Amino acid sequence: EIVLTQSPGTLSLSPGERATLSCRASQSVSSSYLAWYQQKPGQAPRLLIYGASSRATGIPDRFSGSGSGTDFTLTISRLEPEDFAVYYCQQYGSAYTFGQGTKLEIK
Amino acid sequence: QVQLQESGPGLVKPSQTLSLTCTVSGGSISSGDYYWSWIRQPPGKGLEWIGYIYYSGSTYYNPSLKSRVTISVDTSKNQFSLKLSSVTAADTAVYYCARGTVTAFDYWGQGTLVTVSS
């Protein structure tokens, strides 16, 4: 099983700042099979990025994804108030696994 | 717009079988382009994929849950279902159904909380 480790666990930033979230895999992941989700309290996760760098339908361009192999990054270029949430990375290898999440909180 | 809705008991006794159904609207399970998954999230914790089913009935389960999981599909009702046997308190979670490909899950149900307690 491929284990995804996200860092940091909690990220405290202010609106307007840039956020960089990391996802590291225990073994190489095909870029085609790496995705990022946003989850707000009481809601289902929402797909942000698939294929490591492709934005899902309706996702603002301030969200971007990058990386390959074992290291992937989600960047939010300029934080809006609605961006404060928990973010998960997910991969598909022999099975789907998720990272443990990064909580993005208002500083 | 595709919508998914979970339904089933919110309370299950230990050692019994958890049963949930996901009803899909706005799209056909039989389209063949997607895998239909169950994913769960214990309170305050992260996400765990349980398994998926293809419209043909082929399935793939999380190896850690495989011995207790059965996912089935009813294309005539545009529904798919989850059965998880021999539940314990550790199976208490919000259960989501989701539409996916091999890359990602693009549509999710709102989730349903299932509590395992006597």
Condensed to tens digits (0 to 9), the pLDDT of residues B20-64 reads: 999 999 999 998 789 999 999 999 999 999 999 998 999 999 999
Between chain A and chain B, how many beta carbons pairs sit less than 8 Å apart?
56
Q: What's the angle, vertex CA A72, arms to CA B48 and CA A28, rounded to 5?
A: 75
pLDDT 10s digits, B71-111: 999 999 999 999 999 999 999 999 999 999 878 999 999 99
Distance CA B14, CA B62 (A): 21
Q: Which residues of A touch B37 (CB under 8 A)?
A: 96
| Beta strands B18-25 and B3-7, pairing class | antiparallel
Distance CA B79, CA B93 (A): 21
Q: Would you call A93 exposed, middle or buried from its count of C-beta atoms within 10 A (0-12, 13-18, 19+)? A: middle
Task: Considering only the beta carbons, identify the residue of B46, B49, B96 that sits closest to A95.
Answer: B49
B48 touches chain A (CB under 8 A): yes
Confidence of residue A11 (pLDDT cuts 50, 70, 90): very high
Q: Which residues of B touch A99 (CB under 8 A)?
A: 46
